[in-house]
Amino acid sequence: MLLPALGKAKAKAQGISCLNNLRQMGLAWVLYVGDNQDRIPPNAANDSCSRTTEWVRGWLRFASDHPDNTNTVFLTESSLGPHLANLDVWRCPSDPSTTRGGNSRGLLRKRVRSASMNAFMDGSTLQYPNEPWVVFRKATDIPAPTQMWVLLDERLDSINNGFFVPPVKGVFTQDTAKYAWSDVPGSYHNGACGLNFADGHSEIHPWRDTRTKPPVKPGVEIARNFDNATPSPGNQDAYWLGIRSTVLKNQP
């Protein structure tokens, strides 16, 4: 009876730590906005190794021991870096991913980051002129900041860059057949995920659909792109996250 109780206590402590990490990152995001005339940190989709186009550089790999997996320089030089003294906040304490990348001795080390940013938060390459969704460029462009998420912990076999593409296809029209996942959120807290919102608050949200949290396969990456998403029709988690990612253009 003692072991399950200890396990629950550990999970609860890690959840509290995850929320604290996300709050600190959210505060750093708010401070960046305040220092830059309300501009949201740049958020490019690809690793261009440019500090002017990406809020955080680096491309994490799950299937290989890539040097970026352990590169903390990308974190300190990121848009949020000047306001984050502790590098541990970049990673959910429940993220079990390890790597040998950047380690000449071949010893296992934790990957440096589990956090990704909402692609509609100044997603500089998410500019589909014929699509109905708004890409926010300034914090004041964001309606209902308590409802729009900025950062989340991405799944260990999905995360690569710092750009998370939310499942928005079909969600505003409730065309449930179009629901699909490009990137996949984490489910480190007993099937739940940590998120930070534009007003600064953080929460852990439980996923309901098993398709949102499929089993991890060793060495198999599941990251995809916007035009090659995995269909998940009727997935209530996709709807929940999608409507909290952006709004429709010309919405009253």
Per residue in 3-47, pLDDT tens?
A: 454 455 566 677 789 999 999 999 999 999 999 999 999 998 765
Q: What percent of the chain has pLDDT over 90?
A: 72
Q: Among all chains, which residue has been given the structure tokens 């079909």? A: 170
pTM for this entry: 0.91
Helix %, strand %, coil % for the chain, to 5?
25, 15, 55
* Per-domain boundaries in the chain: 2-242
pLDDT of residue 10: 65
Residue range 155-206, pLDDT digits in tens: 999 999 999 999 999 999 999 999 999 999 999 999 999 999 999 999 999 9
On the 0-12 / 13-18 / 19+ scale of CB atoms within 10 A, 224 is middle
Region of 49 (left: φ > 0; alpha: ψ -120 to 50; beta: rest) is left
User: Which residues touch 58 (CB under 8 Å, ≥6 apart)?
Assistant: 47, 68, 71, 74, 112, 113, 161, 162
Full 3-state SS string of 66-82 = CHHHHCCHHHHCCCCHH
Alpha-carbon span 188 to 104, nearest angstrom: 29
47 vs 54: CA distance, rounded Å: 8
d(CA 219, CA 30): 36
